[in-house]
């Protein structure tokens, strides 16, 4: 614990905490990294689940460099943000939920990328084809948990619970409205089984 206290009181941590510009810059870049990481992988997952069927899967591989850029940005900014208050974050279960969600999401991203590569090469196995939708759903749920816990980690328990409930209600409504809108616009066809 002494090491964490020293890290929290270090010159670098104090500079970031006391400089509103530096702190906001790290938060902004962390959000930009999320856009690349969660955005690209979310689009791939939603396409695999049947959204925008006219969009071919293969060219989505070209977006993976942006995803990797997002990973790099978020690793750097995440470590810096963690160093600002490590004594608080290390005892917060929310951080561990976030870490597990991120690990699951990254594993699913790797599985989906392998699937897309195999699809491009024409060597997709039957088990891969069956499992891809499960991987895509798991990825989206993992990102939901990672983003939600990351957003609420700085707050107390009551705020975390209220925020979580509000986000789950809004996400449920958006998914429900999106599903019916997607069906009416022809973006989602539940009777088509192929991706």
**Domains of the chain: which residue ranges?**
2-185
Of the chain, the end-to-end C-alpha distance in Å amounts to 50
Percent of the chain with pLDDT strictly greater than 90:
41
**pTM, full prediction:** 0.81
Which pLDDT score, from 0 to 100, does residue 189 have? 63
Pick from 110, 109, 114, 107: nearest CA to 129: 114
Pick from 22, 66, 77, 2: nearest CA to 40: 66
Reported as a pLDDT band with limits 50, 70 and 90, residue 1 is: confident
Are 26 and 82 in contact by the 8 Å Cβ rule? The answer is: no
Cα–Cα distances in angstroms (integers) from residue 143 to residues 27, 45, 154, 161, in the given order: 18, 11, 18, 18
pLDDT digits (tens, 9 = 90+) for 41-78: 999 999 988 888 888 888 889 999 999 999 999 999 99
Is the pLDDT at 35 greater than 70? The verdict is yes
Give the separation between CA 121 and CA 130, rounded to whole angstroms.
Answer: 18
Give the separation between CA 77 and CA 58, rounded to whole angstroms.
Answer: 31
pLDDT digits (tens, 9 = 90+) for 149-165: 888 887 888 888 888 88
For CA atoms 23, 24, 27, 29, the dihedral sign is negative
Residue 56 CA to its chain's centroid (Å): 23
Is the pLDDT at 103 greater than 50? The verdict is yes
């Amino acid at each position: 614990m002494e090491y964490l206290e020293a890290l929290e009181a270090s010159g670098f941590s104090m500079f970031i905490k006391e400089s509103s510009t530096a702190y906001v810059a790290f938060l902004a870049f962390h959000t930009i990294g999320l856009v690349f990481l969660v955005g690209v992988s979310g689009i791939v997952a939603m396409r695999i689940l049947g959204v925008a069927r006219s969009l071919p899967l293969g060219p989505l591989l070209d977006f993976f460099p942006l995803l990797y850029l997002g990973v790099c940005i978020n690793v750097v900014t995440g470590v810096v943000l963690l160093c600002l208050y490590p004594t608080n974050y290390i005892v917060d279960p929310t951080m561990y939920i976030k870490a597990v969600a991120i690990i699951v999401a990254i594993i699913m991203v790797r599985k989906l990328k392998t699937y897309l590569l195999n699809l491009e090469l024409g060597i997709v196995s039957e088990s891969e084809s069956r499992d891809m939708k499960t991987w895509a759903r798991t990825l989206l749920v993992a990102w939901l948990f990672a983003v939600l816990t990351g957003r609420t980690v700085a707050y107390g328990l009551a705020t975390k619970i209220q925020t979580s409930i509000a986000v789950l209600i809004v996400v449920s409504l958006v998914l429900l409205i999106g599903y019916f809108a997607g069906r009416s616009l022809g973006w989602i066809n539940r009777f088509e089984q192929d991706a």
